[in-house]
Chains A and B, each alone.
Chain A
Amino acid sequence: MLEIKCPYCGKRSQNEFSYGGDASVKRPELGKEISDKDWDDFIYNRKNPRGKHSEFWHHIAGCRQWFKVLRSTATHEIFKTAKIDEEL
């Protein structure tokens, strides 16, 4: 079980959190023209890196804030966590 540092609450065990996907994905702006391919990439296509991966987590059984985590997919090492408006 991972130990994750919520930027608002501090270190807590993984079972308080839920995973929220790749944090490098940005939702296209509403109402803007977008090609099938770009939309397809947004919906379905994700990189699956071995190593550093920035991702969203939700402190669902805590403060209910979404935040960002930089984690190694190979070792589970967590390098950094940050609020949504901060840089990882």
Chain B
Amino acid sequence: MSQNFRLDKGGYINRNKKISFKFNGKKYFGYQGDTLASALLANGVHLIGRSFKYHRPRGFLGVSVEEPNGQVQLYSGATTEPNAVATTVELVEGLVAKSQNCFPSVSFDFGAINNLLHKFFPAGFYYKTFMWPKSFWYKIYEPIIRKAAGLGIAPLKPDPDRYEHKFEYCDILVVGSGPSGLASALAAAKNGASVILAEDKPRFGGSLLTDEVTIGNKKGKDWADETIMELKSMPNVIVKNRSQVFGYYDHNMMVMIERTKDHIENPDKFTPRQKLWYIRAKEVVVSTGSIERPLVFGNNDRPGIILASAAKEYMKVYGTLVGKKPIIFTNNDSGYDTAIIFKKNGIDPLVLDVRLKSESSVVKEAKDLGIKIRFSYGVVNAEGYKKVNSALIGKLNTEKTGYENLEKVSCDCICVSGNWTPTVHLSSQSGNKLKFNEKVNAFVPNQPKQNESTIGSANGSFTLKKSLEEGFDKGFNLSKKITGKDSKISTPTSNEKNYEQQDKFWCMPLPKNKSYKRCVDFQNDVYVTDIELAIREGFRSIEHVKRYTTLGMATDQGRTSNLNGLQLVSNIEKKIIPEVGHTTFRPPYTPVTIGAIVGREVGKHYRPTRKSPIHAWHEKNNAVFVDAGLWLRPRYYKQGNENLIEAAKREASNVRGNIGVCDVTSLGKIDIKGKDSAEFLNRVYTNAWMKLPVGKARYGVMLREDGIVFDDGTTTRISENHFHMTTTTAQAVNVLSHLEYYLQVVWPDLDVNVLSTTEQWAGAALAGPNSRNLLEKLFPNMDVSNESIPFMGFKEGDLSGVPARIFRISFSGELAYEINVESGYGMFMWEKIMEQGKEMNIEPYGTEALSTLRIEMGHVAGSEIDGRVIPSDLSLDGMLSKKKDFIGKRSLNRKAFIEPEREKIVGVVPLDKKTMIPEGSHLVADSNASLPNPKLGHISASCWSVEYNNPFSLAILINGKKRKGEKLYALSPLKNKVIPVEIVSSHYVDPKGERVRS
């Protein structure tokens, strides 16, 4: 198809590079430098999508981020992108786009029946209708609403693209590269400040791209280009286009998204699609410009009705006509600019101006060019369904409440100009409470709450002269404050057209007996009648009106609708706008991809992976790994076709009957030194530590101040003032912070230092009746007898020349030793153990066997220490010293904690001795009781007992100690299981603890 609506010349597109693309399956051509929107318009395509609620045909209203209608679905498969705003999508070869929210096609859409039924879908329709019958919500209403909700379709496959994060610091961040932004960036940079200038569009210059102005005797556009060149050449300046600063956060933390890939035809393999910048700026200059408001009249949402400023930009930047028979409908002078450009391109526009007259120079210029102008006139109703083809226009009576006459005029587009809304989103996000400026009839920033300054038209300064002055001024003053330097450049002279004050009239009345739909919020389909209804039903606060009607709540954040909505409320309520107030703006200013927010932290990169120095051996020996916090630990070592339970049984049996070895490197280790170390441990742990001899380890339990068990582990006295503490893998980080808190904040007088040594030591646990024999082989010069290294004993040894620490501690409940060497020798140690243990048939065991062994023994771990238990719940009463105070002790005599019927740890065996009880199952007395079945306790951990060859679980059970021998039921609704069980002791194997001491 040819580009019938492309001007012969003009625009900043590259006409030498033709680009093909597809829209709704049809092939079109555009040029490099086009957006999807400008290319479609150049091809005469106006029907882009269907509206959200009533499925009304919609075309482009804007030219950039203000666009409420032109949302499309890009591409397909994993790279598909829903709700892409076609006015911001740069054209690349092979781009594929389609319309959203329509079925079967944008031209013929079943959903349009909603438009005929609109009387049944007023504001608040959902709130009123789906309240009853209650049972309908789940199965009928919700699925239908879900299907109808949203516009595009999210991709179902993982995003193949790469996204990056960048952190940057600067003195001054300037947001927007219009005249005021360029001026402030230049002034600040020249005065020695480090500056970042961010522009969301591909082209710099803002209004200078379209306005016929001069700065310092240069064309505005040329001045902009030269200024950008100069800024780019300065080492203290970062200049970024395609970069949207979308969020203003605390302490001047600005977040910006840079589009780095989608506009490139053949990007390199590792080009990120987008970059998310976190910028900490000492000062932020908001020069985000302003957005034109539409006028409101009958069927003002038809395709072909477009903002006058957008029509101008399509002509000036893209050489594209939005129509060949335009009506310019305006309440101010700026609409005339668009008319003049049409005229200069050989198109005859008709200007309708609701004002009585205007004598300004731009109106005179239009008159001199022979442009037809009708004052006191406006568009009453746009006609044509999928594209406007004529307009009912009318002469307003003097009160502007009705019409003196009506007539029909044919046209192919209506360019509307309802004056300008400053883009105050970022200023508002920063905490600046906006104030209403009567002169510009809009909200502008007031008092900054952070180091923020808003300038130019975002500040309501609509002349070029004022914008430049504010820019140069702000740039110099802010940089002076930061750098202390004083080199000022003078503000260049400028020349521009003068605009008169606007008329505040913006909403056309309905003619007698007519009920045309007049649209206020295009994206969320909110009409004048909806807002009137909300007020009639008693909603007064603008925040309530907003939520009831959804005005301004769409992804365009009401950029074209907010102020018109406010004006409407103020007219109906007979209040002035400042009394009505405004709604709150929140980040992000434009939608941001989840990919950009996540950055590189996807999949395994979501968090660091910690591996022991023995990891490679585990991998080579068929280990199946499990995440233990950040650590990857072998869960079991797979042999043949065995499953998890079978492998755990094999590995655990070998420990009980022979010898096994487990990599325990991940256990938290903390080195404690200083002359008050014993005293400190005495305060931190519940049991006594002062008299622990050198060369002995002790099991300890830590509480939080509220009496809840925090962590457990063994601590060994290496020398008089030197201890080695171990913590659980999961709590290692928190225990260190806890110790540091008490040492630095609560008891700074104690002479103690703590340091994490988790990664400095590699650990291997030898467990099983044969472990002493292996230890003897590993340390031939050491006396390994029970007398020399008794249970809880400690010795330093020499492992073939490598210094080692040997602790006789046991989690498995068997005779066991834990050997630690410096991490770098971890693999050496492990291989030595495997080599020397080979003739004893040593086998490595993973965390599943480790759990099996500890569960059988009734040793508690993280699944019991779950942040809800006190020591006595875990039968650890014996660990509580009566002679000294310790952290959390005072809490233990609280009423609820001394309650005799508290939950206690017990053992649970299924009556059939076959069925494994799912962890998390509830224990109940009557499996058939009516729901909710009163819960007596829960299963915390389950294993297959290798000692008794039947399943065994630990549970936390109300009044548990007195229930031994009782028959209960374990219920798991998730696994659909009801298992009759018997309550037994939690110490299922070796209750007297003879093996560890053997």
Contacts and interface: CB of A to CB of B under 8 A. Distances in A.
A41 to B, nearest CB: 12
Contacts of A18: 737
B741 A1 contact: no
B161 interface: no
B165 to A, nearest CB: 12
A79 interface: no
Contact of A30 (B431, B683, B744): B683
B745 interface: yes
Contacts of A27: 705, 746
Contact of B741 (A13, A36, A39, A66): A66
A3 B431 contact: no
A66 B891 contact: no
Contact of B890 (A2, A39, A60, A78): A39
Nearest to B250: A76
A56 B737 CA distance: 12
Contacts of A43: 705-706, 891
Contacts of A78: 251
A3 B253 contact: yes
Interface string B736-760: 0100110011101000000000000
Contacts of B280: 3, 13
Interface string B234-254: 000000000000000111110
A58 interface: yes
Contacts of B431: 75
Contact of A66 (B278, B683, B740): B740
B348 interface: no
Interface string A1-21: 111000000000100001010
B972 to A, nearest CB: 35
B481 interface: no
Contacts of A46: none
A84 B744 contact: yes
A20 B891 contact: no
A34 B740 contact: no
A17 B249 CA distance: 18
Contact of B251 (A3, A31, A60, A66): A3
B746 A76 contact: no
A87 interface: no
Nearest to A31: B885
Q: Of A27, A28, A30, which is in contact with the most chain B CB atoms at under 10 Å from its CB? A: A30
Interface string B359-386: 0000000000000000000000000000
A54 B560 CA distance: 44
Contacts of A28: 890
Interface in B878-893: 884-886, 890-891
Contacts of B250: 1-2, 76
A42 to B, nearest CB: 7
A64 B740 contact: yes
Contacts of B891: 39, 43
B560 to A, nearest CB: 31
A53 to B, nearest CB: 15
B748 A85 contact: yes
A85 B449 CA distance: 32
Interface in B673-720: 683, 705-706
B253 A1 contact: yes
Contacts of A44: 706
A56 B705 contact: no
Contact of A2 (B251, B278, B741): B251
A65 B744 contact: yes
Instruction: Pick from A20, A27, A60 the residue with the most CB of B within 10 Å.
Output: A27
A30 B449 contact: no
Contacts of A85: 748
Given A75-B431, A75-B449, A84-B748, A1 B249 contact: yes
Nearest to A60: B737
Nearest to B705: A43
Contacts of A60: 737
Nearest to A4: B251
Contacts of B745: 56, 66, 84
Contacts of A1: 249-251, 253, 278
Given A3-B280, A66-B744, A34 B890 contact: yes
In this complex, which of B251, B737, B884 has the most chain A Cβ atoms within 10 angstroms of its Cβ? B251
Interface in A63-88: 64-66, 75-76, 78, 84-85
Nearest to B167: A13
A16 B929 CA distance: 52
Contacts of B746: 27
Given A1-B278, A30-B885, A39-B890, A58 B253 contact: no
Contact of A58 (B741, B885, B886): B741
Nearest to B743: A66
B740 A58 contact: yes
A54 to B, nearest CB: 13
Nearest to A11: B280
Nearest to A83: B744
Contacts of A36: 894
A42 B705 contact: yes
B136 to A, nearest CB: 42
A78 B250 CA distance: 11
A47 to B, nearest CB: 18
Contacts of A3: 251-253, 280
Contacts of B890: 28, 34, 39
Nearest to A78: B251
Interface string B865-904: 0000000000000000000111000110010000000000
A39 B887 CA distance: 12
A34 to B, nearest CB: 6
Contacts of B886: 30
A64 B890 CA distance: 29
A10 B6 CA distance: 58
Given A30-B885, A75-B431, 15 more contacts: A1-B249, A1-B250, A3-B280, A13-B280, A18-B737, A20-B741, A31-B885, A42-B705, A44-B706, A58-B740, A66-B740, A66-B741, A66-B745, A76-B250, A84-B748
7 contacts: A2-B251, A18-B737, A27-B705, A34-B890, A65-B744, A66-B744, A66-B745
Closest 5 CB pairs of A and B: A3-B251, A31-B885, A30-B885, A66-B744, A76-B250
